[in-house]
Amino acid sequence: MSSNGFQVEHRYLELPQSFYTRVQPTPLKDAKMVCFNHRLAQDMGFHATNEADWAGIGGGTELLEGMDPVAMKYTGHQFGNYNPELGDGRGLLLWETLGPDGRRWDWHLKGAGLTPYSRFGDGRAVLRSTIREYLCSEAMNGLGIPTTRALFMVSAKDPIRRESIETAATLMRVAQSHIRFGHFEFAAHHEGPETVKNLLEHVIALHFPHLIKLEEQERHARWFEEVVERTAHLIADWQAVGFCHGVMNSDNMSIIGDTFDYGPFAFLDDFDAGYICNHTDQGGRYAYNRQPQAGFENCQYLANALLPIMGEETIRNGLQRYEAAYNGRFLQNMRDKLGLAQEDESDMSFVMDTFSMLNKHHTDYTAFFRALSSLYDHGYAPLRDLFVDREVVDKWLMRYKKRLEQETRTHEEREHQMRRINPKYILRNYLAQQVILEAQSGDYEPLKELISVLEQPYDEQPDFEKYAALPPDWGKHLNISCSS
């Protein structure tokens, strides 16, 4: 295939050579296209007239002219401990393309085979985890939350050994940047201040161009503040939709504030503030209610890497932005979910009391807020039916109605807006599990249908009501491992 029509760059290669190793993909046998994201391709500025043509790229047997695959080197803190051995252990950055709107897209092939950073792994990905990442990155995009994207995935016949023998697959993950907090930690711990500054200027030039004209000290300070604020806003957005990442290590934190690296993630079913979605997270370090703190700790790891070139006061001022940015965004998100346009100083305590109620009564998080968005259309029954003890929710509803007396919008206007904020469809783990089982049997249609539903999570979609149903008992609190 020719690369005609692409405006191609590979600016990552401008970084010092210690940041990467050139590696060719290890070919898969007889790779077949599973899913191709045509809408995303259009946004990126190209049309894939024949999906099958791209299977060779996904399977590692072909490269387009201009692709120069590299495994990125970075380090990072994993569950609080620094690990110098990290890097792209099963993924390769192929090139960067520029879309018609000027947006930059990194193309990163996950599951491409062994690299110098594979450690004890085989450099491969399996169908199960590849489907989960494809589904979740597109679900998050549908929800309006910054995320890496899935351009296409292929499967192949190569057997991959995990807990059992599984099918090989690869994902073409695309994003504006694949640079992580861990890149800065690598630069600081192993290369020195000059390299940290090089990396920082590289990131500003490509992803924060509005800061370029400022003088150096202010440019660096403003950049760090923005990174801290983007991280805080991202995690406030996760909390609002009940998303649990599961592996918030600093090497999984995007420098531009995208949701990055989908492993043992989950969306909450029955609300459980202390929910742990990753069964290897024994201490609950990354439990749902500890994600905001984990985000702040990752900003501290980044801050330590920047200290030699920024100075303590600048770093301290930047870190101080986190709490206000998180609290402000979280409260605004929850006001929007509750349909509160007028601000009241009691709103945060009302939000926390609501969370306490949902937690105590194990209420389905998504269903609660969606039912709340149609009280005047569908009545109180759908909301009350989520509670065994109706008296509890009736008491809460009285308080809610009293709070709504301060609002100036009509009920119709308010609830219309609430339905644009409170999704009807989320990627519940049991739904992912069902389409994975179908795909492993060779039927990819259920997967494609679920993707199309998750792309429009706020719409009613009457033909697909089954995807909005509460999970069966076997499908709640599924424990997912990192093994992919």
Q: Which residues are marked as active site?
A: 251
Residue identified by tokens 């009302």 is: 350
What is the chain's Cα-based Rg?
A: 23
What does the alpha-carbon distance between residue 148 and residue 234 come to, in Å, rounded to a whole number? 13
244 beta partners: 266
Q: Residue 56, SS3?
A: helix
Q: Enumerate residues 6+ apart whose C-beta is below 8 A from 92.
A: 23, 25, 69, 70, 71, 108, 109, 112, 115
**CA 252, 456, 418, 396 torsion-angle sign:** negative
What does the alpha-carbon distance between residue 446 and residue 101 come to, in Å, rounded to a whole number? 33
What does the alpha-carbon distance between residue 204 and residue 366 come to, in Å, rounded to a whole number? 37
Query: Among residues 399, 441, 467, 465, which one has the least CA distance to residue 131?
Result: 441
What does the alpha-carbon distance between residue 354 and residue 279 come to, in Å, rounded to a whole number? 28
Tokens representing 450?
């679920």
What does the alpha-carbon distance between residue 236 and residue 430 come to, in Å, rounded to a whole number? 25
Query: Among residues 156, 85, 162, 153, which one has the least CA distance to residue 122?
Result: 162
Q: Is the Cβ–Cβ distance between 436 and 132 less than 8 Å? A: yes
H helical segments located in 208-289 = 216-241
Residue identified by tokens 């049309």 is: 47
Q: Please tell me the number of Cα atoms within 13 Å of 124 on its side-chain side.
A: 23
Distances in Å between the alpha carbon of 325 and those of 210, 433, 467? 20, 35, 34
Q: Residue 284, SS3?
A: coil
Tokens representing 122?
């085989």
91 beta partners: 110
How many residues in the chain?
484
- Cα angle 100-102-107, degrees, rounded to a multiple of 5: 85
- The strand ranges marked E within 140-270 are 149-161, 165-175, 243-244, 266-267
Q: Is the Cβ–Cβ distance between 5 and 46 less than 8 Å? A: yes
